[in-house]
Structure 1
Amino acid sequence: MTERIALVTGGSRGLGKNAVLKLAAAGTGIILTYNSSEQEAQDVVREIEAKGVKGAALQLNVGDITSFDNFTRDVQKTLRTVWQRDAFDYLLNNAGTGLYAPYAETTVAQFDEAMNIHFKGPFFLTQSLLPVMNDGGRILNVSSGLARFTQPGSSAYAAMKGAMEVLTRYQAKELGARGISVNIIAPGAIETDFGGGRVRDNAQLNQLLASQTALGRVGLPDDIGDAIAALLSDNLGWMNAQRIEVSGGMFL
């Protein structure tokens, strides 16, 4: 079988890095993006290559829609140089940032930044990359448990994730003619550096969230990386247009 290639945005750290390494361990080649830390990204590429597959890192700010045409050309060049291929198979729209602000105090600038990174960016980045994606490929978007349950301070962030859930269904419908399936994963609370490491480093918050989770703890990066690798495996190729929450059963 020809090696599958995944493009993972925000793949140099956090959940993205974990997903990249799990996909690489399953034999998938990786193009990962980073926003600012090239050295960190190249370190991940070396970890990928140590698993016996090829990897590459490209700079991308998913909130800068004007950069997408050049980025797509960089992807094409990388595919030809590293893999001697013209297209990739899987797209994981993972890159993101946290935003914690009460609804009544959320500014236009905060809202616009959240929209650009979490909704407008993935909307138009995916559109830009479609010509270099194989028919029969897979797209996995990333939502949040916060699109189902509510926590004060997450109104703008969660609203963008809710928009991504609706978009996922439309993408699945409109890209189905090419055999491309589109799903969205919704992690719950995870111990990473996301949002300044709130869940990982704030013991009181960690304990509170664990007490509201059926499995009795908050998530770990491996919980999500394993799920992403499973969702992008051929075993789940018939799953389409689905929201899959991976939260251990939060706020049931």
Structure 2
Amino acid sequence: MTTRTKIALVTGGSRGLGKNMALAIADKGIDVIITYHSKADDAAEVVKAIEAKGRKAAALQLDTSHVAAFDAFFKEFSTVLNKTFNSNHFDFLVNNAGTALYAPVASTTEEQFDTAVNIHFKGVFFLTQKALPFLNDGGRIINISSGLARFTPPGSSVYGSLKGAIEVFTRYLATELGARGIAANTVAPGAIETDFGGGRVRDNKEINDVIAAHTALGRVGLPDDIGGVVAFLCTEEARWINAQRIEVSGGMNL
């Protein structure tokens, strides 16, 4: 009996945590489609890296804040599924794409607010909605939240609140999609050394040291600390995990 190779869609997979997730998922024997916003060359390198692991891969351009473009995206997605992966459906949706926003409540503009909502909640909601006809029964949805939905340093009120919304949304997904055998969970990274937010955690030693001092395991997180957790949620061993928030922060701000 031949086992069907499963397929994951990882948004924002050309760099940072999304890249790490995509590579870790490929290590589990899963084919991967990534999306990228503007860095086509970086996305192509991730595709090559996945293919070097013996898996099929593809990269598609997507602005996750632009809901009006989602129908065209899924038309292209369907074509790629057929031509590259010989399939009409996929198995794992990882909603990872996002940008940082550091602004105090007193000075956050309506434009900043609306942009963040479109990327971190509206876009995730409607991308997931439009992905559902393509998602196999028994599949998984993994939404990326943040430790900032639990702890509250000044300046992240909008971002943290939207990640809180994602965590509630995920529980509704688990409830409504349970009849199809689809599990939905959130992974909430703590502070990680990437280029996210201009690389401030990675490149600012003062910030890095403060975070490390407030983390039980005594250091700031690395991309390799996150990707494997997301990949695990795509495995059969994780089949009974559903509607959970899994914080991966090394014990930050306990």
Q: Does 1:246 align with 2:231?
A: no
**Alignment map for 1:62-211 (pairs within 5 Å):** 62-211=64-213
Q: What does the per-residue CA deviation read over 1:80-108, in whole Å, with 9 as the maximum and x for residues that have no partner? A: 00111100000000000000001110000
Give the share of equivalent positions with the same residue, in percent.
62
Measured after TM superposition, the shift of residue 39 of structure 1 is 1.3
AA of the residue aligned to 1:151? P
SS at structure 2 position matched to 1:140: strand
- The match for 2:22 among 13, 20, 23 is 20
Unpaired stretches in structure 1, ≥5 consecutive residues: none
Q: What does the per-residue CA deviation read over 1:38-87, in whole Å, with 9 as the maximum and x for residues that have no partner? A: 11111110110000000000000000000111111111111100111100
Q: What does the per-residue CA deviation read over 1:166-220, in whole Å, with 9 as the maximum and x for residues that have no partner? A: 0000010001111100000000000000000010000000000000000000100
Unpaired stretches in structure 2, ≥5 consecutive residues: none
Which residue in the other structure is 1:2 paired with? 4
CA distance in structure 2 between the partners assigned to 1:70 and 1:11 by the alignment: 19
SS at structure 1 position matched to 2:231: helix
SS at structure 1 position matched to 2:25: helix
CA distance in structure 1 between the partners assigned to 2:149 and 2:123 by the alignment: 18
TM-score, normalised to structure 2, is 0.98
Q: Does 1:54 align with 2:56?
A: yes
CA distance in structure 2 between the partners assigned to 1:16 and 1:87 by the alignment: 21
Q: What does the per-residue CA deviation read over 1:12-63, in whole Å, with 9 as the maximum and x for residues that have no partner? A: 0000000101111111100100000111111110110000000000000000
Q: How many residues align?
A: 252
TM-score, normalised to structure 1, is 0.99
SS at structure 1 position matched to 2:59: strand
Measured after TM superposition, the shift of residue 225 of structure 1 is 0.7
- The match for 2:221 among 219, 222, 238 is 219
AA of the residue aligned to 1:76? S
Measured after TM superposition, the shift of residue 118 of structure 1 is 0.3
Cα RMSD for the two superposed structures: 0.5
SS at structure 2 position matched to 1:197: helix
Q: What does the per-residue CA deviation read over 1:113-167, in whole Å, with 9 as the maximum and x for residues that have no partner? A: 0000000000000000100110000000010000001010000000100000000
AA of the residue aligned to 2:108? T
